[in-house]
Amino acid sequence: MRLIRHIPNRVLFNTIFVSVNILMASTRFSLSRSVQPILKRPPFSSSPRFAPKALLKSYPCPLWSSSFSFCLQTLHHSTSPYLSSSSSSSSFSSCSSFSPPSMASSFTVDDSIGSNPLLQDFDFPPFDIVEAKHVRPGIRALLKKVESDLDELENTVEPSWPKLVEPLEKIVDRLTVVWGMVNHLKAVKDSAELRAAIEEVQPEKVKFQLRLGQSKPIYNAFKAIKESPDWQSLSEARKRIVDAQIKEAVLNGVSLEDDKREQFNKIQQELERLSHKFSENVLDATKKFEKLVTDKKEIDGLPATALGLAAQTAVSKGHENATAENGPWMITLDAPIFISAMQHARNRALREEVYRAYITRASSGDLDNTPIINQILKLRLEKAKLLNYNNYAEISMATKMATVDKAEELLEKIRSASWDAAVQDVEDLKSYSKSQGASEADSLSHWDISFWSERLRESKYDINEEELRPYFSFSKVMDGLFNLAKILFGIDIEAADGLAPVWNKDVRFYCVKDSAGSPIAYFYFDPYSRPSEKREGAWMDEVVSRSRVLSHNGTTARLPVAHMVCNQTPPVGDKPSLMTFREVETVFHEFGHALQHMLTKQDEGLVAGIRGVEWDAVELPSQFMENWCYHRDTLMSIAKHYQTGESIPEEVYLKLLAARTFRAGSLSLRQIRFASLDLELHTKYIPDGPESVYDVDQRVSRKTQVIPPLPEDRFLCGFNHIFAGGYAAGYYSYKWAEVLSADAFSAFEDAGLEDSKAVKETGHKFRETVLALGGGKAPLEVFVEFRGREPSPEALLRHNGLLPVTA
């Protein structure tokens, strides 16, 4: 989920479906952002969910950001060095003295596995001590327990909340938390041993999920609640839970006859396996490319930050004497190095080599994802036919705001509004590169676009992103972000490092407090790139959700816990992490997802926070938060030189603002290509038919790309969002939610961004609606409650400079 969104996001949550989906969601992808030369950011997301709209626990973010923001993929730095002055020991103790959300196990285990950390009572997951050896025995013991609990529930179920929903939530929660912990470690601390352990027990987990999703006693009990005289007296949130459970159970195959259900279950098992294999191949193929450069002339143009990181990477690969000044330098496909090479390397041959390596990742040899793509699409279509749908997109849309027709209509509207601007973008690059004497000016290739775009942007706006890095130190950015959250939503965020175990020394832990000083949520933040063990992209995911049923003390709801993961530039030498503006946008984006999870006031655990939110609405808070990066007061609060403390010059801020719409048409079309291709593959494409998936990509690109992709482009082999995440037939959600988020931010513009009182009042309203109501209310109703009307695309087109100029 959006949070999902990888699923990963992107959202990755809805009950049995939501409940089962919560479980399936743990299979991974989060609300996240992906990399780019071609990408923007992907939301929450990862492997195909049990259901068309699986509860992706995380949200991958779109492949391209609306404001020329590449999705990040770099997380890695340390804790104590970043404690801000405001993070005092007293604030730490106030968080640590509060009883944290308990995730205690409710069962006993045999002595032989009694020491397994996955089976212990804990307040926060023991990320620091879980190892691959714990996965097989721990998950199997857990499955044995929840299977026993499910037997008891089916035998005693009654159509009432205490006898149906509450025990169901408890079953789902324990497996969700533990499996989520294991899957999270796979994403941030990958190893061959952990992969093998997860792969072995995954079919057993999926088997249980299928049994839960297809439980007729549970399904019939939910139907009985809906048909009872008490239905009208239920709260809106509870009605949403019941309706979602019934719909998701049908989508999970509860109504299928025995032979068809067996076929359905085999498809689900295989889709789960293929999804994991797809993402593993992408990670391995990304890590596989390494180019050692010993002649500095070959990497002329690379900024000091990139040279330092490339040398640091070389040291990690055994070249212990590597330095930023003298090399050698290791060029990889890891985002910070890859993006820098594409934007700044004057060596055109190097750019071409790196670009071709990127667009052909996981498309050959043992890591070839082509047969996996074909099989996934074939099985998804088979699944749709079993459930009496025409195609997989119809399954996906069954649990979203949009329909296939409405999604296609929106994409075409934005495509047509973006096309002329994108054509002009290319003409501008040709003219500028020719003026600079570039021999390739009349025939620009894909590996030239980012390079000349940066040169044109520098020339047009006198902005050099690398020169801006010193103004965006990690600690200052986080302080400014937290201050914005205080202004808008009335919360305080304080460092609580040491309160919860972490998986890497660079992971930070924070406590969120309300205006009275009481803790209301917690979150982890893993900011830096670790290409040897960490998945690319950026995402948000839930650790636990808010829940009345799972209250720690029986009186107050269990507090939500989230984690945010990015892949930004790590500290190099004695310098702190100095961020690009794109990386700043990404942090704001993921924090928006986290806010919806943490600031929920919904006590029904199955629709709290991002759970139960329609996938195409889940990106609203994340994309909304990106807008504040261009708000003067906010930017001035985060953009302070890491050595002198001076704010970024006013003229630079104005240039950043002016550059916001630079190449907006091209970047918009990039997202339209991804979304249109996704829908085409899940509506009209015929597996094993006359066209290959790459033929479809070329055909779609003729309408969505001014410069068509290379014939050998195999971008699809790395498209985690739709083949290893929750975005299958759902990538359009980025644009759908972008309409919502731009219109939501325009409410602040209407109120007056310079009017602090109006901003606080509007922020409070946003918190009490969009952030507080979770999946307990239909997203369109939530939006209308906040905005006073239905959404309009006008604000999005205006923000991107794509509205036609009128006399």
Q: Which of 590, 619, 680, 738 is an active site residue?
A: 590
Under DSSP, is residue 640 helix (H, G, I), strand (E, B) or coil? strand
DSSP annotation of 11 reads -
Under DSSP, is residue 241 helix (H, G, I), strand (E, B) or coil? helix
Terminal-to-terminal C-alpha distance of the chain: 43
CA-CA distance, 424 to 168, in Å (whole number)? 56
Report CA-CA distances (Å) from 704 to 304, 416, 420, 669, 707. Answer: 36, 9, 11, 6, 9
Under DSSP, is residue 346 helix (H, G, I), strand (E, B) or coil? coil
- Cβ–Cβ under 8 Å, residues 184 and 198: no
- Cβ–Cβ under 8 Å, residues 411 and 672: yes
Angle at 112 between CA 106 and CA 117, to 5 degrees: 50
Chain mean position to CA 479: 22
CA-CA distance, 54 to 396, in Å (whole number)? 9
| Strand 31-33 with 538-544, pairing | antiparallel
Counted residue by residue, the chain has a size of: 807
- Cβ–Cβ under 8 Å, residues 452 and 433: yes
- Cβ–Cβ under 8 Å, residues 623 and 595: no
- Cβ–Cβ under 8 Å, residues 448 and 55: no
DSSP annotation of 769 reads I
The amino acid present at 562, given as its one-letter code, is A
Q: Does 614 participate in catalysis according to the annotation? A: no
**Nearest residue to 557 (alpha-carbon basis) of 584, 520, 526, 525:** 520
Strand segments (E) across 281-325: 290-293
CA-CA distance, 562 to 595, in Å (whole number)? 9
Q: Which residues are catalytic?
A: 590
